Amino acid sequence: MTSSGQPYNPQAYTAAHNSLHFDTEITVKNVYTGRSVQAVVNDRFPYYPGRIVNLSSAAAHNIGMTQMQLSRVHVTAKSYPRLVIASNRLTRRSQIMARRHRPPTT
């Protein structure tokens, strides 16, 4: 099971990323082979220095990462998911944060 609640499918073109929203479509290009793949972010992974994305087996195989397991890549976000606001009532914490970051009035 992934962090987004979807079952993990190693044959799907999916990815794990620590800061991009779930359902963000990304393009990952392997610098060494020049091949690229489009994947959808549906998971998170533990922080490791120097690692930015974790691809499913099928996506990694498509860009030639089967033997290496690690590779230098470029990641480009192609589309962002539509954010849905469930309620327009702010929580107490977000009200405090909004006041702290309010631009000064002139």
CATH of 14-100, one of 3.40.190.10, 2.40.40.10, 3.50.50.60, 3.40.366.10: 2.40.40.10
Q: What is the pLDDT of residues 19-28, one digit of tens each?
A: 898 999 999 9
What does residue 57 show for φ and ψ, rounded to 5 degrees?
Answer: -60, -45
Q: Structural domain boundaries of the chain? A: 14-100
CA distance 74 to 28: 6
- Tell me if residue 87 falls in helix, strand or coil: coil
Q: What is the pLDDT of residue 69?
A: 80
Q: What is the pLDDT of residues 11-54, one digit of tens each?
A: 999 999 998 989 999 999 999 999 999 999 999 988 888 899 99
Which band of pLDDT confidence, cut at 50, 70 and 90, is reported for residue 70? confident
